[in-house]
Structure 1
């Protein structure tokens, strides 16, 4: 029984790490979406640059298992979008305004993927809790 409880705790710990990582991913994606149409604060300056979350695997010594964590948040080096808007205060000398390198469709797709991964980890936690409860019910009878 002691080994089973360790397996239950390991399962919950791994799923919880997945929840945290996906929640962090969703925060980064939300920031990208919120800044998708922002412009530079100064004329001819660079606007918000899209952020890309990464994940890392780490050994959790207490669980004796590999868990996932939100890693470094990198900046997307792709080109900014430009539009000719000579009356915009953020326009450069040629009248072009730089907009973030954020594609809202890509961000929404990434957000949906993150939500599905988050829900999958929640389902693992729920299933593990039900198994623990069934085990306790069997032991009580």
Structure 2
């Protein structure tokens, strides 16, 4: 297998992993005001693709953040207990936005490597045709 193909495999796996991460971050942000919602966490793992001879990145299992959720006082809320409190979500928008920016930049970096590899491959084909 050519080094170009291996490079494309690695970058493609990085693009998939960051896209999955962005999807979970978007779910967290959209559910920031949902009572009882637990923030989703995702980790990355290295997977060796023996058939291709490369190590790729993949996402691990989705875990729920077990940090303490905010207690909200609203006696009129349907989920409120006898004291008037209910559990809010444990999503911190600043953390989610920071993680989203990091994931976006990682995605863009993988995309640039993908584009550069494609250009190098095209240039090599042009040279071989001459």
TM-score (ref. length: structure 2): 0.96
Q: Does 1:25 align with 2:21?
A: yes
| Residue of structure 1 aligned with 2:99, choices 85, 110, 113 | 110
RMSD: 1.0
Report the equivalent of 2:57: 68
Alignment of 1:114-125 (within 5 A): 114-125=103-114
Segments of 4+ moved more than 6 angstroms: none
Report the equivalent of 2:43: 54
Q: CA deviation at 1:84?
A: 1.1
Report the equivalent of 1:90: 79
| Residue of structure 2 aligned with 1:79, choices 68, 71, 82 | 68
Aligned length: 130
TM-score (ref. length: structure 1): 0.89
| Residue of structure 1 aligned with 2:10, choices 11, 14, 17 | 14
Q: CA deviation at 1:62?
A: 2.6
CA distance in 2, matches of 1:114, 1:36: 19
Stretches of structure 2 lacking an aligned partner (at least 5 in a row): none
